[in-house]
Amino acid sequence: MAYDQTMEIPASPENSPGSSVDVSRLPLPPGSSGLPLLGETLAFIRDSGKFLEERRRLHGDVFRSHVLGEPIVFLVGPEANRWIFAGENKYLRNRWHLSARKLLGKQSVAMINGSAHLDRRRLLAPHFTYATMRHFVPRIEALVHQHLEQWFSAKQPFKAVDAVRALVFEVAIVLLVGESRVDAAYMSRLFKRWVAGLFSAVPVDIPFTTFGRGVAAEKEMREYLTPLVAEREKLAEQPPDTLGSLLSARDEQGQPLPRDTVLDELQLLLFAGHDTTVTATSNLMMMLAQHPEVLERCRREQQELAEKGPLTLESLRAMPYLHQVIQEVMRVIPPVAGAFRVTTEDVAYGGYRIPKGWQISLSIRGTHRGAPWTSPERFDPDRMGSERNEQKSQGAYIPFGGGPRVCVGQHFAMVEMAVVAALLLRGYQWELVPGQDLSLIPFPIPLPCDGLLVRFSRR
């Protein structure tokens, strides 16, 4: 089943051309600016989920606050999401938090805006379509087999999150730079330090701080990747991987992308696709173990498949229930809780004025826990099936975001997760070690606190 979150979002009436709303007369959204300077930052960082739910109960789906040094308006729900997606490059611009702004390459797709962003998306799009994933299925399958056998040979309980992390990293390297001589273990260590820096609350570059170590790791990663890119630049024909497409791209004057831009993009893609896929895959394993009736239905689906040989896009498509389960896991625990934008003019939303330069928070987690979802706290994969189809309202189901910034790697992630899950279901079983803390880390990524300790065996 191909999963596709559309980029086309209808505009909202309040901001459509010719709207008669006089923005300057509208009140600010309800809420509090908190303490001088600090605002409500501490409560937000401590537990952003609780922060959102408490204020939502008090003020509804539109409220203001002051976090991370800036005024912000939180918007929750499908309608708000449609307004945010429609506003990109009109009344809104993308905005990353300060650490990410300092550590992600300035020329990567996530950092650029306007027509440069659209051009880059056009360049990347052909390499991330559902159909393109066909080449990767056998390569992903081979890597997953290899890793699952290593898990099995451990013979004693291990942290599934760490094991999934190693697997996802190696798969990402293959997609990005091919079966090259990249030392995945070395890169993975650097990557971990870099990502920790990306989420650090205090982005001051002092050695031995999380941010300082992140800066050093980013530099080392770049030094490692630079000769690899330089060598690939010399090839007359590029292999079919993302680096190949970045190096083959030409602008209107026939010029290639500068090497620094290629490096920015490679690092960004590695970052954007890693912890997200690790979180969804680990939480899928956890939820299957916690819901034996769902696990049983998934196993039955695998047994009943007509095609039992190597996996293909067609055989993956013939697993609708598994896809419903993956989708429901990402509804209950979205790997990305939300994203930020900034207003580029005074705007009206929901009868309120949002001044120019304020941050806007897109809330994926909040959206997945409100209307139109029935009993949203229940893990219920049937809600994703064609009969109930609860996700049909546009903007209600947004694990991959939406609009012009919808996730570039959504098909890659869905295919990879389906391959991992199918091979797990066919050949292995796993139990959660009792007594561990399965509650989710509140920030930055919702993974089980103890790393998901599992006992793993063959079926």
Query: Which residues of the chain form contacts with ligand HEM (CB under 6 A)?
Result: 94, 109-110, 121, 268-269, 272-273, 276-277, 280, 335-336, 339, 399-401, 405, 407-409, 412-413
Task: Give least dist CB 352 to ligand HEM, A.
Answer: 22
277 burial via Cβ count (<10 Å: 0-12, 13-18, 19+): buried
- Nearest CB to ligand HEM, comparing residues 175 and 453: 175
Query: Within 339-427, where are the H helices?
Result: 364-368, 410-427
Return the residue nearest ligand HEM (CB atom): 409
Let me know: does 188 contact 171? Beta carbons within 8 Å. no
Nearest Cα neighbor of 282 from 172, 440, 130 is 440
- Nearest CB to ligand HEM, comparing residues 203 and 335: 335
- Nearest CB to ligand HEM, comparing residues 263 and 336: 336
The pair of structure tokens assigned to 101 is: 């702004």
273 burial via Cβ count (<10 Å: 0-12, 13-18, 19+): buried
Task: Give least dist CB 199 to ligand HEM, A.
Answer: 15
Let me know: does 340 contact 360? Beta carbons within 8 Å. yes
Task: Give least dist CB 176 to ligand HEM, A.
Answer: 7
Amino acid at the residue 195: V
Task: Give least dist CB 94 to ligand HEM, A.
Answer: 6
Write the CB contacts of 206 (distance below 8 Å, at least 6 apart in sequence).
212
Instruction: Identify the H or E element spanning 223.
Output: helix 210-233
- Nearest CB to ligand HEM, comparing residues 7 and 28: 7
Instruction: Identify the H or E element spanning 71.
Output: strand 70-75
**439 to 40, 333, 447: CA distances (angstroms):** 24, 12, 8
Task: Give least dist CB 272 to ligand HEM, A.
Answer: 3
- Nearest CB to ligand HEM, comparing residues 34 and 178: 178
d(CA 108, CA 80): 27
- Nearest CB to ligand HEM, comparing residues 118 and 216: 118
Task: Give least dist CB 152 to ligand HEM, A.
Answer: 25
Task: Give least dist CB 435 to ligand HEM, A.
Answer: 29
- Nearest CB to ligand HEM, comparing residues 61 and 264: 264
